[in-house]
Structure 1
Amino acid sequence: MSIRHGLLALLDRGPMHGYQLRAAFEEATGGAWPLNIGQVYTTLSRLERDGLVCALAGNAARQRPFVITDAGRDALTTWFSSPVSRVDQGRDELTVKIALALSTPRADVRGLVAAQRAATLDAVRELTRARARSADVDRVGRLVLDAMLFRAEAEIRWLDHCETSLLGPGPVRAG
């Protein structure tokens, strides 16, 4: 998800200034994606430059609310109706780390995979506990927890695949 589209979605609800947008974004994503206020204002500047939002007059506290434009609504509609690309999903740090470790002479690939699996299993346990405690959490919060849990479980399956298909039995050293 891009911050750009997230802010457009929030502004579609009505005018907001930067700090309101940051709080609403974090609430809407169940706290899974905290934003730096600098990111918010930089993104708002770009959205304004591109004609997707416009700033209203500031208030007494020098807060300038922004509103979405018709072009912004069109961009938001296009984003909501477009599937998320999975092509770039392989560009995460873990994938790159394992790929590089396989061709690095002194890298302990098996140790890397084992350490990551242990950390991911810890995350699964914590997410499972958080989900059990989330009976009173809103639907969005539970949905975010579910997504994080399912991704962590998928990562464990992928690490298992790496170990069996790339590493095979015994110690593995690149080179």
Structure 2
Amino acid sequence: MSIRHGLLALLARGPRYGSRLRTEFEARTGGTWPLNIGQVYTTLGRLERDGLVVQDGADAAGRVLYALTEAGRAELRAWFSRPVERGVPQRDELAIKLVMAVGVAGTDVREVVEAQRRHVSRALHSHLRQRADALARAPEHPDEVARLLVLEQLVCHTEAELRWLDHCEVRLLRLTQARE
């Protein structure tokens, strides 16, 4: 997740102060990726150092406002035009757990799979409820569309994990049958 580019995108809407950027970022991502306010200000400092944002005065409450520069707008356009690389997959604790459990005597790997399936099923139901709530509000509003996109990604990823767990269970069943 590019916090740097996310902040640039929010600043494209006009000058903002740090805590407002944090609040808008979390709202746009449906609260899925909370930000630490220190992370926001550290990132703003780097963006300023790199010439992508400038301090643009202060609001009535005295909070420093940040605005995009032309270089910041160009960087944002370039980011939107680049595909997201999906090269080397991230380490996945569940995959590591399952491949290690296969080799540990006395471990019922199918039970490990089933425990994960129950957990993921609960998460899927939660995501589906949140998506239904978002759809019931104002699905045509850009902020709600952004939230829906995040929720729909969570639904798709969760459904994919459930399919993968089904695949693991079949593979483990074949392994058990081959040993008998």
Whether contact under 8 Å (2:102, 2:109) holds in the other structure is yes
Distance 2:99 2:105 in 1: 12
Three-state SS of the structure 2 residue aligned to 1:55 is strand
Question: Which residue number in structure 2 is paired with residue 151 of structure 1?
Answer: 157
Distance 1:39 1:104 in 2: 41
Question: Matches of residues 3-152 of structure 1 in structure 2 within 5 Å?
Answer: 3-59=3-59, 61-102=61-102, 109-134=109-134, 135-137=136-138, 138-152=144-158
Task: Give the ranges of 4+ consecutive aligned residues of structure 1 lying more than 4 Å apart after TM superposition.
Answer: 99-108
Distance 1:32 1:41 in 2: 20
Distance 1:32 1:105 in 2: 38
- Matched pairs, number: 171
Question: Which residue number in structure 1 is paired with residue 141 of structure 2?
Answer: none
Cα separation, partners in 2 of 1:62 and 1:88, compared to 1, 3 Å:
farther
Distance 2:113 2:40 in 1: 36
Which letter maps to 2:4? Answer: R
Greater mean deviation of Cα atoms: 13-22 or 95-104: 95-104
Three-state SS of the structure 2 residue aligned to 1:16 is coil
Task: Output the TM-score relative to the length of structure 2.
Answer: 0.80
**Runs of 5+ in structure 2 lacking a partner?**
139-143
Whether contact under 8 Å (2:110, 2:172) holds in the other structure is no
Note the aligned Cα RMSD (angstroms).
2.5
Which letter maps to 2:155? Answer: L
Q: Deviations over 1:89-128 (max 9, x none)?
A: 4334333443454556676543332211110011112222
Distance 2:15 2:123 in 1: 37
**Runs of 5+ in structure 1 lacking a partner?**
none
1:84 Cα offset (Å): 1.5
Cα separation, partners in 2 of 1:56 and 1:130, compared to 1, 3 Å:
closer
Identity value in percent:
51
